């Protein structure tokens, strides 16, 4: 598996994003929240992903952009944790929910926790 985050892996479709927020299920591990939806899409990789740091939570654009950059990097290096354990195609949205800027190590640890929670939840639901 390549440790890249190419254009085809990014969630950009407004329709898919709206559908994700309407029908998606949530997994939380402070300060991250994962909204996911099993849905077929045209990408080669099984996951299309988006990242968000809401303006209501993180006021300065500089800080929001830095947080999203860190989340993308953490995902890029650790996406194998999810991709190797799923068979269906999914769309994801990672949302940052803390007012303070995280340290990279803390964000990576939280990401790994949220991956474990996600995998156990889809295992319970039988969606794997």
Q: What is the pTM of this model?
A: 0.92
Residue 84: inside a domain, yes or no?
Answer: yes
pLDDT of residue 3: 86
Show the tokens assigned to 67. 């947080």
| Exposure on the CB side of residue 62, measured as CA atoms within 13 A | 0
123, part of any domain: no
Report the pLDDT value the prediction gives residue 109, as an integer from 0 to 100: 96
| Residue 1 placed within a domain | no
**Residue 74 covered by a domain:** yes
List per-block mean pLDDT (blocks of 10 residues) for the chain, which spans 128 residues: 87 94 95 94 88 96 96 94 90 95 95 95 80
Three-class SS state of 69: helix
Q: Which domain holds residue 30?
A: 7-116
Question: Residue 122 domain-assigned?
Answer: no
Q: Could you check whether the bond before residue 31 is cis, i.e. omega within 30 degrees of 0?
A: yes
The domain that holds 25 is classified in CATH as 3.30.230.10
The tally of domains found in the chain comes to 1
d(CA 94, CA 36): 9
The tokens 């964000």 sit on which residue?
Answer: 107
Question: How do 90-96 and 47-52 pair as beta strands?
Answer: parallel
Residue 125 lies in a domain: no
Q: Is residue 127 part of a domain?
A: no
Does any domain span residue 128?
no
Rg (CA), the chain: 14
Q: Which pLDDT does position 128 carry in this prediction?
A: 62
């Amino acid at each position: 598996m390549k440790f890249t985050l190419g254009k085809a892996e990014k969630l950009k479709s407004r329709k898919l994003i709206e559908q994700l927020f309407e029908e998606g299920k949530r997994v939380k591990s402070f300060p991250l929240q994962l909204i996911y939806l099993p849905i077929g899409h045209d990408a080669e990789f099984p996951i299309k992903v988006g990242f968000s740091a809401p303006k209501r939570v993180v006021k300065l654009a500089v800080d929001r952009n830095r947080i999203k950059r860190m989340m993308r990097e953490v995902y890029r290096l650790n996406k194998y944790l999810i991709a190797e354990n799923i068979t269906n195609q999914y769309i994801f949205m990672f949302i940052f929910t803390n007012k303070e800027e995280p340290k990279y190590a803390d964000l990576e640890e939280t990401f790994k926790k949220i991956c474990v929670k996600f995998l156990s939840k889809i295992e319970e639901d039988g969606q794997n």
